[in-house]
Structure 1
Amino acid sequence: MADNAARTTSGNALEALRERTIVVADSGDFETIRAYRPTDATTNPSLVLQAAGDARYRHLIDEAMAATPTAGLTRVERLMTLFGRELTQVVPRYVSTEVDARLSFDTDATIRKARALIADYAALGVSADRILIKIASTWAGIRAASVLEAEGIACNMTLIFSLAQAQACFEAGVTLISPFVGRITDWHKKAEGVDHYAPQDDPGVRSVQRINAYAKTHGYPTQVMAASFRNRDQILALAGADLMTISPALLEELRGMDAANAPGMSTQPSEVARVMLDRAAFDWALNADAMATEKLAEGIRRFADDQAALESRMAG
């Protein structure tokens, strides 16, 4: 885990951040990823949809159309694994590949799809230890991840908006979770009629700090990867998190900044006792959190829409 202590480092802010946090590229563009030298890469249908419109990647679409995917996968999902295969040549560690968001409420179907993705990667010559299967953090998704992790299939639980979701993921023994900073902040700005938060008051930043403190206080091995940033201040406020997945635009901003002595992630222990949520407690906690309920549903719909758009493009 990265050292949380604040420090001043020579060079630019991106290099200083790398000393404290594993940097992940939130992009499907291989050339952009090469430019910023991240350790991991994360993909989803939205990112692949953007990259698929680039003529440089037409050969991957052609390969996906010509191939017969592993049983249980569509041509769109073969396209996802082809992008993933290429990304494993660019980053040294994990590449995340997302299960179809339309399966977010079906545990058995999620398990089958995850196994098929791993099998397809094997057929493409990519070892399972290079891949994280990305699953929406519904109750059904978390239960699927528990089964998959027991089989040795590592999972990245996405669309985390609440401590309850994180708690359930920690107890399920998942490899990594992705709390969404910016989308939490967006919701609170609209709900509270606020244009800007200072970093220490930013609801998205505070949510990740709370989740991270809970994980570290109670000794969970699951890594916390902050995601969905809206500005560089959010990133600097969370320096010292296990990982951050950052868009190319914000990576460029950080690379253009002088290194700063950012306060980074709070090291205060969590005051929340360790709990193991059952289905009823999980559902109630999520229901009681209007922001988490709305943003989880919205995120699933958005990923599902982009998956459908990819299918339409591949069919055309």
Structure 2
Amino acid sequence: MLPTTVSSRIEPAELERAQRIVGSISRSFESKVVGQARLRETLLISLMTGGHVLLESVPGLAKTTAAQTLADSISALFHRIQCTPDLLPSDIVGTQIYDAAKGSFVTQLGPVHANIVLLDEINRSSAKTQSAMLEAMQERQTTIGGQVHPLPQPFMVMATQNPIEQEGTYQLPEAQMDRFMLKDVLDYPSPVEEAEVIRRIDAGVFLAGSTPHPVATLDEVRALQATARKVYLDPALVNYIVGLVYVTRHAGAYIDPKLAGLIEFGASPRASIAFTQTARALALLQGRDHVIPEDVKALAERVLRHRIILGFEAVAENIRVEKIIAAIVDSVQTP
């Protein structure tokens, strides 16, 4: 994750430039992806914070199209990795191969060496392969044959998992899920949006060669990240964020005891860090140079849903983690 330190205030010209960049990327995204405003916001927040995002949805909801379109919009190198049980760590990070002409081994970098990486159905890969990918996400480098290879900047991973099929899958350990800054759950499009998808297919919007022209450069994205780190976060909001995360660990004293009893483990300090970084990015997306409480509340589900560990009773009673998160948010006084 990128540091949360605020170095200086945002100048009006800098805020205007950030709005121009964000607006251009958003319009380019919407030219290919119908609806999915929440997904667009989540991806932009992740891009601006240097974090990674875990997406859960059934197939066919434009996750690959969204990642590819975002990469095309900012002149970024994009790689898609389809996870399977036989996928090896070297298939992701790279390996050394013998060059007979030179009589020596040469390094062949894997697909993780890109600006935006789509890790499709991450829960289909083995635990060893998952660990290799998550290590690259955390350290932002790979080690091949004893040599360190830094990953490009910006670098963002969008991992997906299908909640329907559990056959032949390997559930992500809780400690590894914690490394994703955000987790979002996508829903089906509305009838109007689905009809628009069909109209765009008939119009040839999704045909090969219809890639949108880049509307921002990687240098502009890096500048956008630097601007996001300068968004003002009042100390009262820092206490509010810490209070929300604290309640996840001591829920019995703050929310309905029945709901609190379903929580096995609360969120780690990574949740507080994620709140501060993503709230700043969301404020900038909305044209502000300061965070407001509504920014934090809007991100509560995406920051906490994969960090609050529920017991088997929650599954048995069909109680979703979002219900518990709502109760936690209601229990903490808004500054």
User: What's the TM-score, normalizing by structure 1?
Assistant: 0.31
Higher Cα radius of gyration: 2
TM-score, structure 2 normalization: 0.30
